[in-house]
Amino acid sequence: MAFQDLPIKRKVIGVIMLTSIIVLLLTAAVFMIYDLITYKQSLRRDLITTARITANASTAALTFRYEQNAEEAIGALKADPNVMAAALYDARGNIFVRYPSNLPLSELPLKPGNFGIRSGKATMEIFEPVAERDKGAVGMLYIRSSLAPLHQRLRLYAGMSFLVLCGSLFIALIISSNLQKRITQPILALAEAAKVISERRDYSIRAKKMGGDESEWFPKQEGRLPMCN
């Protein structure tokens, strides 16, 4: 059934519900986008901080090629559950140690990339120089971190938004069902009176006064409905 053919009660409820759905969806989308952007920035800051701390702790190990010390420094990354892989490259660009220690070399960049951080769909990677104050860069640190927390947060927000949407629509349906009566009853009463006058030619019939809006113009101004041909 086309919208214009629906009863006026259903039209009023439909307009209210559609407006509520659009407003709720837009509000939820804005909050989700804002939160995800800020949360991703937080993950970037945390990864940069972790990389700098690890790089500083690895300076002596790379300078004097103490493999055990380098493994201990990079092994501290296990405290961060989001870290998937890491590697220390020496000054020649060769992998010196890696984390986890049994990680296949094929899962790591063969050569260090440019300094900086970059994000993919599922991971975030960073290359941080390992530098000594007097000698400059003595190597490079690579860390790959998972973006699983970001995706989990997205799913959580989507679930919460769905529950809020359902609850809000239920409340909006109850409110709109009650409010539509105040809007449609005067109009329906006016239409019913006009129908009776048209059928019976009884111009003494008056529409019931229910308020003071535009739908009550005839009862207030004339006291009865106009003549119908």
Print the domain residue range for 128: 58-146
pLDDT in tens, 170-189: 888 887 777 666 666 666 66
**Is residue 120 situated within a structural domain?**
yes
pLDDT in tens, 15-59: 778 888 888 889 888 988 998 899 999 999 999 999 999 999 999
- Is pLDDT above 50 for 225? no
The two structure tokens encoding residue 118? 């970059």
**Is residue 119 situated within a structural domain?**
yes
**Is residue 200 situated within a structural domain?**
no
| Mean of the per-residue pLDDT values of the chain | 81
Mean pLDDT for the stretch of residues 51-74: 92
- Is pLDDT above 60 for 140? yes
**Is residue 19 situated within a structural domain?**
no
Total structural domains in the chain?
A: 1
CATH of the domain at 87: 3.30.450.20
R_g (Cα) of the chain, nearest Å: 35
**Is residue 171 situated within a structural domain?**
no
The two structure tokens encoding residue 158? 């989507």
Q: How far is 62 from 200, CA to CA, in rounded Å?
A: 103
**Is residue 138 situated within a structural domain?**
yes
Q: Are 122 and 146 in contact (CB under 8 A)?
A: yes
Q: The whole model's pTM is what?
A: 0.70
